[in-house]
Amino acid sequence: MTPRLKEKYKKEVEPALRKQLGCKNPMQVPRFQKIVINVGTKATLDKDSLKEIADNLTKITGQKPVITKSRKSIANFKLRENVPIGVKVTLRGDRMYEFMDRLVNVALPRIRDFRGIPPTGFDKAGNYTLGLKEHDLFPEIDPDRVKVAHGMDITIVNSAANRDEALALLKLMGFPFANE
């Protein structure tokens, strides 16, 4: 079964973007490439807490995360080389669209006093990065069983040529942007 947002992209968003941006070639239309979810932690965090964070990310994404390690030692941060400092997941294909659907329709509306996501999170290439302060916004996480509260950075990588094309793509996909 194909994800809801994937069908929406093919049937509604792609033709609308093609018309809006004036793309003659269908390969010029911006599309999603991947979503990267990164959780950075303290260097002094114990292994059990890091395992719990990895388990939570597995529940949220449906994919096993990779543990990231430090590349070099920094004495001011009490950080040594090759110490686990976070976890990340890269989602592509159907899992990417499923996660995007849950993010837009379930997790973001659960934020207290939510007025939309800021439209300032774009880089020069048109990729959008969003930071969440709490991971228990997702329905897969039971807030009563959470021992380590953590946030996450979500980066949506797309093939847009610039910020304006990426903003149009995300708005048509239903991302709730705050008024500029």
CA 1 to CA 4: how far, in whole Å? 9
Q: Does residue 47 lie in a domain region?
A: no
The DSSP output letter for 68 is E
Q: Does residue 168 lie in a domain region?
A: yes
pLDDT value for 43: 65
Q: Does residue 122 lie in a domain region?
A: yes
Instruction: For residue 127, give its domain range.
Output: 4-21+31-42+89-172
Say which CATH number the domain at 128 has. Answer: 3.30.1440.10
Query: By three-state DSSP, how is residue 130 classified?
Result: strand
Total domains in the chain come to 1
Q: What is the mean pLDDT of each run of 10 residues along the chain (180 residues)?
A: 88 91 87 92 75 88 89 79 86 92 88 86 90 82 77 91 90 84
Q: Are 90 and 154 in contact (CB under 8 A)?
A: no
